Every structure is written in structure tokens, then in C-alpha cells.
Amino acid sequence: MTHENTTGMTRRALLGAFAATAITAAPTYSNAAGFLRGSGDIRRLRMYSGRTGERIDMIYWIEGDYIKDAVQEVNHFMRDWRTDDVKNMDLRTVDIMAAAHNLLDVDEPYMLLSGYRSPKTNAMLRSRSGGVAKNSLHMKGQAADLRLSTRSVSQMARAAVACRGGGVGKYSGSNFVHMDCGVVRSWGG
């Protein structure tokens, strides 16, 4: 499964973020390239939903290939829990989430606050809050709102920004970080 770069995020930038996390785990930096070649290349996603009680902890990518069944599970997990609508999540967003998690060096799974949002759900949330975009990337399956109890919003945002893969919003008052695979930008406080 491949995804074209339509928003400025390159495969090389994401691979660099994953490589950086692997290098930090290497016993020495002098032979980092050899370490990366020998370690195998995997991507893992760990999340739970306070709304549904569901948990996910899986490897969804191995040695350059997305695992179809794992991706389908991610799509179901990140569904609009209000309507039960499922959308294929843009795997660039999933990769940003996984890379940022690796950079944070934490065992705690993300708490998923919002993944895919149906247009109906997005309209309802917009009517309640001025902070919800009319054409939210959540409706395209390209965004996620995440929280960690062991890391601050600032720490999470810095890790996501370091991936240079898309948008990163800090919502300190609500204690979550928005990550998406749209244009590289950041906002919030």
C-alpha cells in the first residue's frame, strides 16, 4: 500500500524520524547504519479509547510493507465512535503518531480522543466549539487528537513537530495534541 505525497510530507522525512528513534536506542552511534540494517524495520501503534474501552497494540508495518489486517484494525479502532462510521485512515498520520510515540520513549499507549469524524459529528462539534474546523482533516481520516498522562502537551507536540510530517496543534487547556498529515504547520499553546 503506497501513499502519494500530496501535502509536503516526504517518505524520506518520515523514515528519518523512525531512523532517529532507532538510532537513539542503539548502544553506540558509531555503527548506527549497521544497527538499523540488522534490527529489522517495524512500526508499532499502541492506543486505547476512553470512550469505547477498546485497546490496540500492534505492529502494522514490517520491512517496508503495511500489514493489511492490522491497518483494517487501526481503521476500525479510529472510527467515529459516535456514529460507528469507519474510514480508511491516511497511513501518513498513523506513521506520524507512531514516530512521535517512539521519540517520546514511553511505554504508555496514546489515549485516542478523536480519529475519524463523520461530517455529522464534525458539524455537531462545530456547533459547540469555535475550535473545530469546517473542513477538518478528521473528516478525511487524516488527523488524530491524542493524550498521554506521562508526557506534557508540549513534549508530545515537540515530538510530533520533529517528525516534520504535518500539522501539530497544542491544546494545553484540554490536555491533548492534534497530529495530522496535512501541510506542515503548528499552532496552539
The per-residue pLDDT for range 69-98, each reduced to its tens digit, is 999 999 999 999 999 999 999 999 999 999
When pLDDT is averaged across residues 99-115 and rounded to a whole number, the result is: 95
Cα 169–chain centre separation: 12
More confident residue, 34 or 50: 50
- Band (pLDDT 50/70/90 cuts) for residue 14 is low
Residues in the chain: 189
Interval 148-172: pLDDT, tens = 999 999 999 999 999 999 999 999 9
| pLDDT value, residue 189 | 80
pTM over 0.85: no
User: Is 20's pLDDT higher than 80?
Assistant: no
Spatial strand order in the sheet of 143-147:
65-66, 55-62, 42-48, 110-114, 143-147, 176-180, 167-171, 185-188
pLDDT in tens, 123-138: 999 888 877 888 899 9
DSSP string, 68-123: HHHHHHHHHHTSBTTTTB--PPPHHHHHHHHHHHHHHT--SPEEEEES---HHHHH
